[in-house]
Amino acid sequence: MKVSKIFMMMMFVFLSIAVTACGNTGEPADSDETGDVEGTVTVSAAASLTDALNDIADLFNEEFPEVQIDYNFGGSGALQQQISQGAPADLFFSASESDFQTVVDEGFIDEENAVDLLGNELVLIVPRGTDNVTSFDDLSNAGRIAVGTPDSVPAGEYSVEAYESMGIYDELESRFVYAEDVRAVLNYVETENVDAGTVYRTDAETSDSVEIVDTVAEDTHDAIIYPVGLLNETESPEAAEAFYRFIQSEDALGVLEDYGFIVQ
């Protein structure tokens, strides 16, 4: 009887160790599923994020090679309208808090799956080598001024707010050339189709063809905040969440900082 009890106890201990060992062997596999994540992630993102997000996708694919990242770049207002009308998207990375909040209010993104990630600055640019405009004080020398369409382009909305705050909007409004997004504003200045334009600092610093001649004071417009969120309806939930988390990683934030964005 004694032997039987000892034998049973030994068997119990052996089985307990075996079960624990199996559990410990499985845990690392669960925490390293990068190779198992696959699918296509569609990211609707502000045009000003183009270069940085392309670099981030390359980094992400080193870790998640089976996930394809498709970008839909444009003005945040236009992207918001697309999402609201049912256009497919897995993430929304906006340059406008109000456009992003509209998507949240309409139930496409839950608050717990969203974060205010970045900030930016607005600057006045001119074609490199020109000297007729050197600051906002002599912007009246410009014949044509590129501005993002304020109804759909946050940089355009911030620009109009700034021009109004500086008391020069009424004088200059007839000279505005409106563009579909901030990269179009940059292109108008690069190609000298306009004499000046207002863009984000991060856009201006990507170009050797323009020169920053002035910085818009922060107190002349609403704060420039870039929220990013994970949409509730997605065909590749694991892949979408993986990219959403990766955007907030140290590696991704380092890329964004290198491009001049201000991490919140």
pLDDT digits (tens, 9 = 90+) for 47-100: 999 999 999 999 999 999 999 999 999 999 999 999 999 999 999 999 999 999
Q: Give domain status of residue 12, yes or no.
A: no
Is pTM beyond 0.75 here?
yes
Give the domain range for residue 240. Answer: 37-119+225-263
In degrees rounded to 5, what are phi and psi of residue 160?
-60, -45
Whether the CB-CB separation of 55 and 208 falls below 8 Å is answered with no
pLDDT, position 4: 46
pLDDT, position 10: 45
- Shared domain check, 216 and 142: yes
pLDDT, position 36: 84
Is residue 7's pLDDT more than 60? Answer: no
pLDDT, position 37: 87
pLDDT digits (tens, 9 = 90+) for 100-153: 999 999 999 999 999 999 999 999 999 999 999 999 999 999 999 999 999 999
Q: Give domain status of residue 16, yes or no.
A: no
CATH number for position 76: 3.40.190.10
pLDDT digits (tens, 9 = 90+) for 165-210: 999 999 999 999 999 999 999 999 999 999 999 999 999 999 999 9
Confidence of residue 35 (pLDDT cuts 50, 70, 90): low
- Shared domain check, 184 and 201: yes
- Shared domain check, 130 and 111: no
pLDDT, position 21: 41
In degrees rounded to 5, what are phi and psi of residue 74?
175, -170
pLDDT, position 24: 36
pLDDT, position 34: 60
- Shared domain check, 230 and 181: no
Q: Give domain status of residue 25, yes or no.
A: no
Q: Give domain status of residue 26, yes or no.
A: no
Is residue 16's pLDDT more than 60? Answer: no
192 phi-psi bin (left φ>0, alpha ψ -120 to 50, beta other)? left
Instruction: Domain count for the chain, please give it.
Output: 2
3-state secondary structure 12-45: HHHHHHHHHHHHHHHHHHHHCCHHHCCEEEEEEE
